[in-house]
Amino acid sequence: MKADNQPVYMIGVAAQLCGIHPQTLRQYERLGLVTPQRAGAKNRLYSENDIKRVKRIQRLTQEMGVNLAGVELILRLLEDMDEMRRDLEHQFEEYAKDVEARLQQILEKPHIPLRKDETLLPVPNIRPTRQIDI
């Protein structure tokens, strides 16, 4: 089973899978919208992720009427959102581990009184790690 990011499709096959002309793929590459892997100096190899990205670009331009500058911005914002989502998930996992550890300490020593001036569980310190620039 191949990974979605493994480059396997030559430009002609990739264009056919996307329903576009190979020249369009070359234009997307020049604009930085898609970055295929290179095999040698000239051969471009596209992955499943590249094909999905090109199809997304086609949907934005053809069905939604977005120009290529808008597509670039939309794709960058979507990538930023994915990165922020992964970061938030990681921070939440760390918070959950901290809560479990504190609860375990409380359960191991039930005879120790709890202080009224301290919170039982930590307040989550979840924060965005980066700003989105438009």
pLDDT tens per residue across span 64-110 = 999 999 999 999 999 999 999 999 999 889 888 988 888 888 888 87
9-10 sheet: strands from edge to edge? 9-10, 43-46, 37-39
In a domain, 3, yes or no: no
pLDDT at 22 (0 to 100): 95
CATH of the domain at 56: 1.10.1660.10
User: From start to end of the chain, where are the E strands?
Assistant: 9-10, 37-39, 43-46
1-15 average pLDDT score? 87
At residue 38, φ and ψ (nearest 5 deg) are: -110, 135
Range of the domain at 129: 74-134
Q: Which of 66, 87, 105 is the last residue of a domain?
A: 66
How many domains does the chain fold into? 2
Within 10 angstroms of residue 11's Cβ, the number of other Cβ atoms is 18
In a domain, 1, yes or no: no
pTM of the model: 0.73
Lookup result for tokens 């009427």: 65
The confidence band for 2, taking pLDDT boundaries of 50, 70 and 90, is: low
